[in-house]
């Protein structure tokens, strides 16, 4: 599959995740999100950056519990799964990973 931005065409896998993370930038993230019917807000960007940081540190996308724990430490102790589902109703970890330019999480269907 392919995603088209104003300047280039980027290859994705069957689930819409980038096949090459080095193709990622904020414009690509916005195109991926728009294709999913989501307009990225500052809260989405915080989540995307956190998912990228976890991936860079561990080599894997985070499970929901770890993501919530780190977001609570970094941003707000009141963050919970409902907060994440308000940002990404169809799967916070999967879509945040997708928009972050990361592979589909192994633990997501």
- Establish whether 108 is a catalytic residue: yes
What's the CA angle centered on 77, arms 76 and 79, to 5 degrees?
70
Q: Check: CB of residue 101 under 8 Å from CB of residue 29.
A: yes
Assigned token pair, 85 = 């589902």
Catalytic residue selected from 38, 64, 66, 108? 108
For CA atoms 75, 79, 81, 86, the dihedral sign is negative
Catalytic sites, residue numbers: 108
């Amino acid at each position: 599959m392919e995603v088209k931005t104003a300047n280039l065409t980027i290859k994705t896998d069957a689930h819409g995740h980038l096949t090459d993370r080095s193709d990622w930038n904020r414009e690509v993230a916005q195109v991926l999100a728009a294709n999913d019917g989501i307009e990225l807000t500052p809260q989405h960007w915080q989540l995307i950056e956190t998912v990228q940081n976890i991936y860079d540190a561990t080599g894997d996308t985070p499970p929901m519990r770890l993501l919530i724990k780190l977001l609570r430490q970094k941003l707000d102790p009141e963050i919970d799964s409902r907060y994440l589902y308000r940002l990404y109703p169809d799967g916070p970890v999967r879509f945040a990973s997708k928009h972050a330019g990361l592979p589909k999480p192994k633990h997501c269907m």
